[in-house]
Amino acid sequence: MVKTQYIAALEIGSSKIVGAIAEKSPSGYVQVNHLEVEKLVNSVRHGCIQNVENTKGAINNIIKKLENRVDGTIEEIYVGFSGRSLHSEPTEVNHNLDATVPITDDVLNRIIREAGKDPIKNYETIDVVPRTYYVDKNETKNPSGQFGSNINIKLNLIVAKPTLKLNLERVMGGGTRVKDYLVTPLVVADEILEASEKSLGCMLVDLGAETTTVSIYKDGSLVYLTTLPMGGRNITRDITTGLNILEDTAERVKKNISNPLDKNVEHVSIEGVSSSDAANYIVARTGELIANIKQQIQYAGVKIVDLHNIVLIGGGAQLQGFARRLEDEVKLRVRVGTYPKSLNIVDHNINRAEYVQIFALLSKASQIIPKKHSCVSRNSYGDFAQEEYESPMREERDEDSGYDYEKFRPEEPAPRPKRAQPSSSYREEPSRHRKPSWIDKARKKLESMINEPEDDE
């Protein structure tokens, strides 16, 4: 019986790959203790994998480090899916029904799955997100259990270029098996946004290194999702090019300027670079970023008055003063998103805003992972370790995979032959059945000393 479930997740970004493991107790308590990061340079561009071998090597390094931390083997892992071409495409389906039969979840799921099969030129459908239901032209939030002769469903197809998933499958092929691909922007919204924010209307902005993902929600449903090919690294490269310095130096300068978006920035020298000169580039590029973020509201077909607030996450969003500048420009209240409330992160070294995405993936995975299942097979050191954890390879057949785990279950050892019972006339010494105590050992040693023969001298 599995007592603790171990959940592994991986998020591949433009500047780094992050892997982490969470532990879920039988009571549902989920705690994150282990997180590893591998920096990447030009192997992933705008969230799309360019160099498969380099990325695969970085992933293997993360998995090995995590395995050493938990003293086990990661057999399955949840992988985040995101990148430049990921966006939503609105569509709708219309079906006639038998009015004498109630609408069930199975019927709804079948209609939604069929909608996802409609091809979109140059794109692959990754997920289908329902937006609004109409039963006999009457809008409803949940048609399950209702009766009607016709149902119309407005949906958002989540699509991406085929190479985005293909290269992701390539880097994960031949190693740790992928338990499931999770669309990162959708998972982050589910785990970070409040239900009231989705209902009143909000915009989730994930400002990464080379991409900015914008998701807009209204009336509790996804309205619009897009991925912009720009992020925090654009600011860094502007400083690099404009001031003729290395990118690493420009990144440190950017992070160490106090309030670089203020009109009267303090003039100091940081690693030989003028803070005011660097701030000019930061202000210019930040203005372009915010203008593009604001423009997505119009593209989504909603108005600013339809939205209640903006939730800002991502490593690029840590630029000092960015949240305040975004609030002033868009005229909406901005709050900085934190990790999911369902998680417990006691290590302050990993409790950082730039890891919100991996924390969201772990939280979602902890909710959907099958009972008595674990992503990690712990090394067994005796009966105690086996009671704490049972490998997923010992579970019964998983219908979703092509492996029959039962086939590889080790055979039970043959029972030992029974020992012949002594006859009733035989009386065995009690000492032959109990372990000698320290008193017995001391007595035996004393007797040997007394009976020891004397020396010839």
What is the tens place of the pLDDT at every residue in 256-290?
A: 998 899 888 888 999 999 999 999 999 999 999 99
Among residues 169, 186, 187, which one has the least CA distance to residue 178? 169
Q: Are 224 and 216 in contact (CB under 8 A)?
A: yes
Whether the pLDDT of residue 244 is over 60: the answer is yes
Cβ atoms of 187 and 364 within 8 Å: the answer is: yes
Q: How does pLDDT run across 330-367, given as a tens digit for each residue? A: 999 999 999 898 999 988 889 998 899 999 999 999 99
Average pLDDT in the chain: 86
Same domain, 70 and 111: no
Kindly state whether residue 274 falls inside one of the protein's structural domains.
yes
21 and 78 fall within a common domain:
yes
What is the distance between the alpha carbons of residues 333 and 311, in angstroms, rounded to a whole number?
Answer: 9
Q: What is the pLDDT of residue 438?
A: 58
Q: In this structure, are 152 and 90 located in the same domain?
A: yes
- Give 406's pLDDT tier (boundaries 50, 70, 90): very low
Identify the band that residue 159 occupies on the pLDDT scale cut at 50, 70 and 90.
very high
Instruction: Establish if 323 belongs to a structural domain.
Output: no
d(CA 220, CA 128): 16
- Higher-confidence residue of 427 and 73: namely 73
Last residue within a domain, chosen from 400, 428, 444: 400
Q: Are residues 125 and 72 in the same domain?
A: no
DSSP letters, 192-237, are HS-HHHHHH-EEEEEE-SS-EEEEEEETTEEEEEEEES--HHHHHH
Q: Classify residue 434: in a domain, yes or no.
A: no
Q: What is the mean pLDDT of residues 34-61?
A: 93
Q: Do residues 115 and 260 share a domain?
A: no
* Same domain, yes or no: 45 and 93: no
62 and 170 in one domain? yes
Q: Could you tell me what percent of the chain has a pLDDT over 70?
A: 83
Task: For residue 94, give every residue at least 6 positions away whose Cβ sits within 8 Å of its Cβ, in sequence order, or none.
Answer: 150, 151, 152
CATH code, domain with 395: 3.30.420.40
Asked if 170 and 43 sit in the same domain, the reply is yes
Q: What is the CATH number of the domain that holds 131?
A: 3.30.1490.110
- pLDDT tens-digit profile of 245-260? 999 999 999 999 988 9
Whether 10 and 79 share a structural domain:
yes
Residues 15 and 72 in one domain: yes
Looking at residue 41, its pLDDT comes to 81
Does 40 score more than 70 pLDDT?
A: yes
Domain boundary among 373, 400, 427: 400
Q: Would residue 448 count as lying in a domain?
A: no
Please tell me whether residue 1 adopts helix, strand or coil conformation: coil
Q: Is residue 62 part of a domain?
A: yes
Q: Does residue 392 register a pLDDT over 50? A: no
Residue 240: inside a domain, yes or no?
yes
Is position 337 within any domain?
no
> What's the number of domains the chain is made of?
3
- 3-state helix, strand, coil split of the chain in percent (to 5) is 35, 25, 35
User: Is 296 among the domain residues?
Assistant: no
pLDDT, tens digit (0-9, with 9 covering 90-100), for 201-228: 999 999 999 999 999 999 999 999 999 9
9 and 78 both lie in a single domain = yes
- When mean pLDDT is compared over 170-179, 388-397, 402-411, the highest value belongs to 170-179
Nearest to 11 by CA among 453, 400, 358, 455: 358
For residue 192, pLDDT beyond 70: yes
Choose the final residue of a domain: 133, 160, 187. 160
* Coil vs helix vs strand at 346: coil
79 and 91 fall within a common domain: no
Q: What is the pLDDT of residue 143?
A: 94
pLDDT for position 394: 37
- pLDDT of 187 over the 80 cut: yes
Which domain does 252 fall in, by range? 232-286
